[in-house]
Amino acid sequence: MRVWLYLGIAVCLAGIGAVLHGAMPSSRDARIVQSANPEDGKVIGGVFVSDYFNLSYRLSDELTEGLAGPPPSQSGYYVLGTWTPKRDFAGTVLVVAQDMFFAPDSSDDVKNVVAEFRHVMSTVDGMTIDREPAPVSVGGHPGYRIDFSGVGLFRSTFAIEIRCHVVTFNLTTRDPELLASLARSLDNLDSVRKETSDPVPECVRDYATENVVHRVEPHGVSTKPVSVPVRMIVAADGSVKHVHVIRASAAQRQNIEDAVRQWKFKSYVKEGHPVEVETGMVFNLKPATM
């Protein structure tokens, strides 16, 4: 069961209201992508910008940010943003992401994720599938859309894949016409970086576990065994360029970062040339010895 996707819908039900109006590309440096993390998105001058996912859109003047989401989960589930209206409560927009490297029921196919979600929602009493899963494009990314309704609310979920994350846009309203307007507004999602000579790293599952040539183990900092999910970007020469410890204590985070930055990998080769790669692995830390 894909709990992370269902949680997105549950949060939408907690409040009503939001309208997105158009995107505004940013002139941000392409090199920011190398140090950005999924949870780093923010609203700047009325525009939501996610450097990691290379997405941006301008918010309506009628919108205000909702409550901040929780920290990333152990399975790499992120709340990227929530928006609600300043006045009338008519609908909500919730944007979330799930790291597919660490999802409980991992799949490489967004279509399968949405199909499973459709099956689960169809078994909920009082819920009706209004639009079967169908291919769509969101911000230039291929994905799938499903619409469903129940208990006086109308909902759409759009799911796309970016950098081995499934990013979902969850829209909930009391008015089907407003739902259609919200859905159309997603056509205006845009890229943060229009042109770049610094491309996004290749996304490769399990590369870190199979291609390490030099490894330094992090020290355990815990009273009991703990599993820590970590993403990393490996440079073309095999050195570690960026480490993202998704969920851990401050001491565990520092120890893992210090250790992994000393790792060396085999170069990832694409079309005969070494290129950067983004991958992930789970560190199973043991309690610190006395």
- Taking only the tens place, the pLDDT of each residue in 190-200 is 888 766 556 88
State the residue for tokens 């183990």.
Answer: 217
264 within 8 A of 212, measured Cβ to Cβ: yes
Distance CA 85, CA 16 (A): 8
Q: What is the mean pLDDT of the chain?
A: 84
Question: pLDDT (tens digit, 9 = 90+) per residue, 240-252?
Answer: 999 999 999 999 9
- The pTM assigned to this predicted structure is 0.86
Question: pLDDT (tens digit, 9 = 90+) per residue, 22-44?
Answer: 444 444 554 555 579 999 998 88
178's CB contacts (< 8 A; 6+ apart) are 19, 90, 91
Residues of the chain scoring pLDDT < 70: 1-34, 62-63, 87-89, 106-108, 194-198, 289-290
Distance CA 185, CA 174 (A): 17
Q: How many CA atoms lie within 13 A of 160 on its CB side?
A: 16
81 within 8 A of 168, measured Cβ to Cβ: no
Partner residues linked to 59 by β-bridges: 20
Question: pLDDT (tens digit, 9 = 90+) per residue, 42-65?
Answer: 888 888 899 999 998 877 776 678
Buried b / exposed e over 117-129, threshold 16 CB at 10 Å, is bbeebeeeeebee
Partner residues linked to 148 by β-bridges: 129, 155
